[in-house]
């Protein structure tokens, strides 16, 4: 059972460079609904309500920052940039940089089916974390933290160094538009211990292997496979 100890909470606060007055909010941000379903007596609720709050906060902070930072950009461009920055894929990448996936409190079934690998779980935990910071310290602190950890993604999207669409999302759109149906991702190989795994994934489009990728997470390998598939299909990101 993955329950936070005081030492683990302290370590998490240090890694995030945030100090909570109510540490139960920080802990709650990582409680997945699957854990609550299996152990309803341990926590009063899952992180879903915090995620709901954090989702709104992240959207507001990013929209306000883009509006203020780029007064010359038209609404359409700002909307595209915001959508790229607050997508589940993008927020999961921020969560990976913060290394918060390992703090997720998952049920046994969710753990066994690769719950930590799911982008949605990591992105939701990040949004719940923002919601927790807001409730504990107010909007100013939540805004400061959000901008601090999202500064690099914002710069990358603005400069064009990062695509406005995630490779998997773009590959899905292209595959569907060409009448191929949705792409399929197959794990070809998995090596290493639990704490240092490497996945090799194949992207199959229209029944044909089209791209391959490797990564320390299945999601990362899938993203690289999608990127290679897009190149093979002569699609620019």
Whether 55 sits among the annotated catalytic residues: the reply is yes
Indicate left, alpha or beta for 201 from its phi (over 0: left) and psi (-120 to 50: alpha).
Answer: beta
Contacts of residue 16, defined as CB under 8 A and 6 or more positions apart, other chains included, come to 98, 100, 129, 145
Quick count: other Cβ atoms within 10 Å of Cβ 152? 14
**CA–CA separation, 55 and 144 (whole Å):** 16
Q: Clarify whether 202 is annotated catalytic.
A: no
CATH superfamily of 6-159: Ribonuclease III domain (1.10.1520.10)
Q: How many CB atoms lie within 10 A of CB 139?
A: 12
Decide if 6-159 and 167-232 have a common fold.
Answer: no
Do residues 197 and 216 touch, judged by C-beta distance below 8 A?
A: yes
Run of H or E residues at 175: helix 167-177
User: With helix as H, strand as E and coil as C, how does 13-26 read?
Assistant: HHHHCCCCCCHHHH
Write out the chain's pLDDT in tens, 237 residues. Answer: 557 888 999 999 999 999 999 999 999 999 999 999 999 999 999 999 999 999 999 999 999 999 999 999 999 889 888 988 998 888 998 999 999 998 999 999 898 888 888 889 999 999 999 999 999 999 999 999 999 999 999 988 877 665 556 788 889 988 999 999 999 999 999 888 765 678 999 999 999 999 999 987 788 889 889 989 999 998 866
Q: Which of 27, 51, 55, 136 is catalytic?
A: 55
Catalytic residue chosen out of the listed positions 51, 110, 127, 228: 127
pLDDT of residue 212: 95
* Greatest distance between any 2 Cα atoms in the chain: 54
Position 198 scores a pLDDT of 85
Residue 181 and residue 24: Cα distance in Å, rounded?
Answer: 45
d(CA 24, CA 218): 31
CA gap 68, 154 in Å, rounded: 13
| The predicted structure's pLDDT at residue 83 | 86
Token output for 127: 């949004």
Q: What is the pLDDT of residue 89?
A: 84
Helices then strands (H, E): number in the chain? 11, 3
- Per domain, the residue ranges of the chain are 6-159, 167-232
> Which pTM does this prediction carry?
0.75
Pick the CATH number of 167-232 from 3.30.160.20, 1.20.1600.10, 3.30.43.10, 3.40.50.2300: 3.30.160.20
pLDDT value of residue 237:
60
């Amino acid at each position: 059972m993955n329950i936070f100890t005081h030492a683990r909470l302290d370590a998490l606060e240090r890694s995030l460079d945030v100090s909570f007055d109510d540490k139960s909010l920080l802990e709650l941000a990582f409680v997945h609904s699957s854990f609550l379903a299996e152990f309803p007596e341990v926590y009063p609720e899952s992180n879903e309500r915090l995620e709901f709050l954090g989702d709104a906060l992240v959207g507001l902070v990013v929209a306000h920052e883009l509006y203020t930072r780029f007064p010359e950009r038209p609404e359409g461009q700002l909307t595209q940039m915001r959508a790229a920055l607050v997508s589940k894929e993008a927020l999961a990448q921020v969560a990976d940089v913060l290394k918060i996936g390992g703090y997720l409190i998952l049920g046994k079934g969710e753990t066994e089916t690769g719950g930590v690998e799911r982008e949605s779980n990591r992105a939701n935990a990040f949004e719940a974390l923002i919601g927790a910071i807001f409730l504990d310290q107010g909007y100013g602190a939540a805004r400061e933290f959000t901008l601090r950890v999202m500064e690099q993604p914002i710069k990358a999207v603005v400069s064009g160094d990062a695509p406005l669409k995630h490779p998997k999302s773009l590959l899905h759109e292209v595959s569907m538009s060409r009448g191929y149906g949705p792409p399929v991702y197959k794990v070809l190989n998995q090596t290493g211990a639990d704490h240092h795994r490497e996945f090799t994934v194949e992207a199959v489009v229209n029944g044909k292997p089209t791209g391959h990728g490797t990564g320390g997470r299945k999601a990362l390998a899938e993203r690289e496979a999608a990127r290679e598939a897009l190149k093979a299909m002569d699609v620019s990101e």
